[in-house]
Every structure is written in structure tokens, then in C-alpha cells.
Amino acid sequence: MRNHPPKFFRQLLTFYLFCFGLLCSFSQDKNKTEHVILISCDGLRPDAVEFLGEKWAPNFYRIIKEGAHTHNARTDFNYTVTLPNHTCMLTGRGVLGEAGHAWIENSTPKIGQILHRNKKAYIVSAFDVAHDQGLKTALFSSKGKFVLYDLSYNDRIGRADTQGEDNGKDKIDHYHFNAKTEELIKSFTESLAKTPYGFSMLHLRDPDTAGHANGWDIQPKSVYISAVSKMNWIIGKLFDFIDTNEQMKGKTALIITADHGGRLRTKTHTKSDEKLNYTIPFYVWGPDVSPGNELYKINPSSRKDPGDKNPKYESDGLQPIRNGDAGNLAMSLLGLHAIDGSTINSKQDLNVKAPQKAEGN
């Protein structure tokens, strides 16, 4: 006659197996991303990437294949210039309106000029959220006017950290400026090797500089196309670093977008109602991103492809994907809450994972 385990032990074994499965499920749902790098390719038009194609822009196409993207994202509705749009990226706010960040200047700030004094209220940024949660932060820029953010979030001006351990008022642990982007990426990767920042921003000026000097000329060997090729080279350098760094490999997400496009004849991009100015790319790559997806296709309930238009923020219906989505997307990938006071992607509902198909479909 066989000895069967008592009913109590069978029930206990079933309970432990259930708990183990639940823990595995939680482990799978938890974000794998520990580092997010927000890259702004200043003045990058998406059709320039398409013109180069996979042969001449393999690193952009690596992101397209391994991550999620759209070539029909939008700038802010009212402004298609640098500082207003980068402030959108970092704060999750549009420029104008009661909830807007209100920064419309586009030059190096004068003494005493900071975001909060201009708005007459503190404007929380992605740097605040990440830093207050104990993550290291950094800003590497190729334009000197980005000192605006270092001035606005330093140890004198930054808000007090009231969440858990006090990580201080200086929300940007490291700020570095170098107009030469080949030197900037070297400094950035060397700094990452010492301090794998939880959230960092890398600004690259070359397409904008080329566009202003020679126009946004989408032709073989044009100065502008050469500058976009340089962006591909820099992204390749960053991939090389991530792929060989044990602290960041498999734990790092990239968000790449632009502040505006530009036109050939005018050599400028200030008209915010011009399609070539407000149409920008938006790329996401990393361990929590499903490969090979177009962002509008996997966000049918929260975003809508605008076609050729740039809808107002208060328009009826769904909004397009904007560069202002980047800040809250970065926080979401890191498992952090949305930026206080933000209005763009404040629900953190920009999905970068394709919905799983039900079995049998």
C-alpha cells in the first residue's frame, strides 16, 4: 500500500508554488531599465534619416529595428526653437498657457534669468524627480545656453527634497558644455564609465548648425546630410560604450528626439505653422521596449498620427506624440512617478511595449 503525503503538506506545497509563480510574475513586470539617456539631435529632420537609409545610418536603423519609433512626432505647438522645446522635454509641459513652462527666450540667459523666476513658480523637471529618488543625473550640452538648466536646478535654486532620504537641492549632479560634439561624446562616455547616471541628457548641435549655415538640404553630400551622418556616428559610439559596459549593458534605455526641423531656403525654423519645422523623429530603445514597432500603431488609445497637421494642445481627440513626451517617458522607464505639474504624458501612457497577443490568435 502506497504512502500518500498528508493533505496539509499537499496544500502547503500548492501554496508555495503559487507564491513562487507570483514572485516570478512580479519580477517579469518590473522595469529592467536602470539608466535613461535622453538625446536631443538639434534640428534633426526625420526624412534626413530616411534619405540616408540603413546603409548610411545603421545606428538609427538599429534603434528602429530593436526599439520603437515614429518619424511623425511633433514639437511644441507654438514654438519651434531650441530652449522652449528642450524645456518641454524636461518638464513635460507646453510653452504657453496656465500650465505651460512659459520660457520663450532662445539665447544664453542673462544674470538672474532662470525658469522659476520667469514663471513666478517653481517648475519641476525630470532632473528633480530622478534626483529626489536617489539617482545620479547629468546634462552634457553642445550649446552654452543650456546653462539655463544648471542655473535653474542648482544647490541654491533647486527645491528641497522631501521624499525619503534628502538628496539635496542640486538636481543636476554634473553639467558639461563643449561645442565640439566629437569631444562631448568622449567626455560623456568617460563620465558614464565613472558614474552610470540614472537620468542624463545629451544635446548634439550639428544638424542645427549645418541647417542655419547652409539650409536643411536633403541631398547627397550636403552639409546638412553630413551633420546627420555625424549623429549616426555619435549614436554608434554610445552603442559601443553601452554594449561593452557591464554596469549599463541590458539596463540602459535611449530616447532620441529633436527640438525642431528646418527648411532649405530660409535657413531657419522659427515659423511654428510650417510642417518641415514641427515634424520631428522620436525613437526609444532599451530593455523595456518591444522591438520593431511604430509608436502610433502600439498607442491607438492614447495617441493619434496627426498626418500633416500639428494639433493644438486643447484640440478634441487624441494628441500626437511630441518631444514633450520624453521626460515622463524617461521617468516611466525608470519606474518613477510623473513630473509634478506636467501635462504632456502626465499619465505616463505612451506605451513602448507592443500589447501581447492572446494565445491562439
Radius of gyration of the chain (CA): 22
User: What does DSSP assign to residue 331?
Assistant: H
What pLDDT is attached to residue 10? 56
Question: Are 228 and 52 in contact, with CB atoms under 8 Å apart?
Answer: yes
Three-state DSSP state, 274: coil
What pLDDT is attached to residue 20? 46
Tens digit of each residue's pLDDT (9 = 90 or more) over 199-217: 999 999 999 999 999 999 9
Of 125, 121, 112, 75, nearest to 272 by C-alpha is 75
Q: How many CB atoms lie within 10 A of CB 170?
A: 18
What pLDDT is attached to residue 28? 43
What pLDDT is attached to residue 58? 98
The pair phi, psi for residue 108, each rounded to 5°, is -60, 130
The pair phi, psi for residue 236, each rounded to 5°, is -60, -40
What pLDDT is attached to residue 1? 43
Find the length of the chain.
361
Question: Are 234 and 21 in contact, with CB atoms under 8 Å apart?
Answer: no
CA angle at 97 for the pair 323 and 159, rounded to the nearest 5°: 75
Bridge partners (DSSP) listed for residue 293: 68
Tens digit of each residue's pLDDT (9 = 90 or more) over 35-44: 999 999 999 9
Mean pLDDT over residues 129-143, rounded? 98
Instruction: Check whether 18 has a pLDDT greater than 70.
Output: no
Mean pLDDT over residues 165-184, rounded? 98
Q: How many CB atoms lie within 10 A of CB 155?
A: 10
Domain range 32-333, CATH architecture: 3-Layer(aba) Sandwich (3.40)
Q: Is 71 exposed, middle or buried (0-12, 13-18, 19+ CB in 10 A)?
A: middle
Q: How many angstroms separate the CA atoms of 265 and 291, rounded?
A: 37
Q: Which residue has the cell 547652409?
A: 214
Residue spans per domain, the chain: 32-333
Q: Is 346 exposed, middle or buried (0-12, 13-18, 19+ CB in 10 A)?
A: middle
Determine what percent of the chain is predicted with pLDDT higher than 70: 90
Name which of 51-65, 85-99, 262-276 the model is least confident about: 262-276
Question: Are 197 and 184 in contact, with CB atoms under 8 Å apart?
Answer: no
Q: What pTM does this model have?
A: 0.91
Tens digit of each residue's pLDDT (9 = 90 or more) over 298-319: 999 999 999 999 999 998 899 9
Of 277, 345, 286, nearest to 62 by C-alpha is 286
Q: How many CB atoms lie within 10 A of CB 89?
A: 28
Largest CA distance in the chain: 93
What pLDDT is attached to residue 9? 54
Q: How many angstroms separate the CA atoms of 191 and 186, rounded?
A: 9
Instruction: Check whether 30 has a pLDDT greater than 90.
Output: no
Question: Are 147 and 176 in contact, with CB atoms under 8 Å apart?
Answer: no
Residue 6: pLDDT band (50, 70, 90) is low
Give the pairing of strands 199-204 and 137-141. Answer: parallel
The pair phi, psi for residue 284, each rounded to 5°, is -135, 135
32-60 in b/e burial notation, b at 16+ Cβ within 10 A?
ebbbbbbbbbbbbbbebbebbeeeebebb
